[in-house]
Structure 1
Amino acid sequence: MISKTKSLISFQDLFAQAWKYYWQNFNRLMQLMLIAIPVGILGMIAVVGFISWDRVISLVLTNTVSIPMIGIAGSLIMIVSLMFLSSAIILGLVMKTAIFSMVLKKDSKSSFKQLWKLGREKYEAYFKAVFIADFFTLLWSLLLIIPGIIKGLQYSFAGLVALDKKTQSRDAFKESRRLITGRWWGVFWRLVLPTILFSVGTSVLAVIMGAQLGNKMDPTYGIVNSTAIFFLTPLFMAYIVELYLSLKKTR
């Protein structure tokens, strides 16, 4: 693959543009990120439910309780757990779609209610494009790791294309590949470098606060990591959108 990085915006300019939008709209972005709190709570409840269901199955296998009674209880636990998990996934998708749509439109005026409505209206299109992209990436990865990485990057903007152009998933894939063609390496490093910096930054924060990074069960590590993710996720999303917009302009 031939890289044409000269036609791409520099990493510094990408970050500067993303930071500018992030800082100017910090309050509204944080309001949307607050949706992550119920997402996390619903997810934890679902996990507890699945653990309880596993315990129920163990009781059945050991003949500790009657099968009819435990069967009904187990079914109810599984259904409720799946409901909580589905709710968490949908809420997370709505939040992500709202933030991406906000940055794509360079929206600085819409209220939280308007952005929430926008997220609810568009999350299905975004989810469909991303799900299919991830599915095909997985299929390519089953062949060899390298083809999976190549195709994964080519499909990486399908979700944004679906939101930006309101197009079908198939057309979104074609457009995403078109944006990447001939510039694979340039785009690759512009995506990988921020990810590395984010990981390093999180680790540095954990060190400063005295976390034992080798022990993932350390509560300090979890708190620092979660806090960093909460505040930096919108910035990273803004960066991805800026990269996508620059690819559109220079294609």
Structure 2
Amino acid sequence: MGAMRKTEKPLQRIRASEMPWEPLGKHGLRRRLLGLDEATGHVTSIVGIPENWRGGGVAHYHDAVEEVFILEGSVTLDDVHYWKEGDYFYRPAHIVHGHDEKSHIGAMALTRSDGVLVLNLVHEPAEPKEYPLPESNDPRGHVFSLPVADVAAGPDAAFPAEWGIKPLSADPVSGARTLIAEIPAGWQGTAPVLGTDWEAFILAGSVDGTAGDFVPQDYTSGEADTPLLGATGSTKGCTVLVWQFGRQ
């Protein structure tokens, strides 16, 4: 997907702590909107889930992709598997889920979707846990639950040699992918130009660059020719969640 514009300008720094909370849905969720592409409904947000939260309790599916990284707390959608801090999942469109949504301790989640998440209800699900409908055919596949701590960081030709890259999911057809970039303490150099539109969210540490400093829970986006974060150095190191859009 090309020509994605989710901030007013490339490398605009969005500080999550400065964004207002707004209600999300009818069951007590709220969100801080980070980036939105008006043309497609493609949205990136931080979603807050309160303690002892209970969702609608009806299985459903969406016609859009959901991608989530749990920042803190835990949540379950089937009362069996619990996603917890540091877990990532990629759910394609047309995956039935949400059979028994709840969170005992509350949670904070970084979420991203490629369109409006309309609820298509499934009152009699065929299985007691997440399952794909026949029309679900995302080349990236269904990444049900991936503890990011278990993913090894390694080199990637698209990034500086000193950086460690943790691949989380990828589309072999379009080239779209999600990854975590670990920038070591003391790094100085030139930020990579990825050749695709991208988004980034700082998980830990900080990075300096042409757009100023980025610190935890800062978000920005860029176009194909925008250097990632405009980064030129990191004194104490930085961990960044990066989304790359694919080719049209």
Scaled by the length of structure 2, the TM-score of the pair is 0.30
TM-score normalized by structure 1?
Answer: 0.30
Who wins on radius of gyration, i.e. which is larger? 1
- Decide which structure has greater strand share: 2
Higher relative contact order (CA 8 A, sep 6+): 1
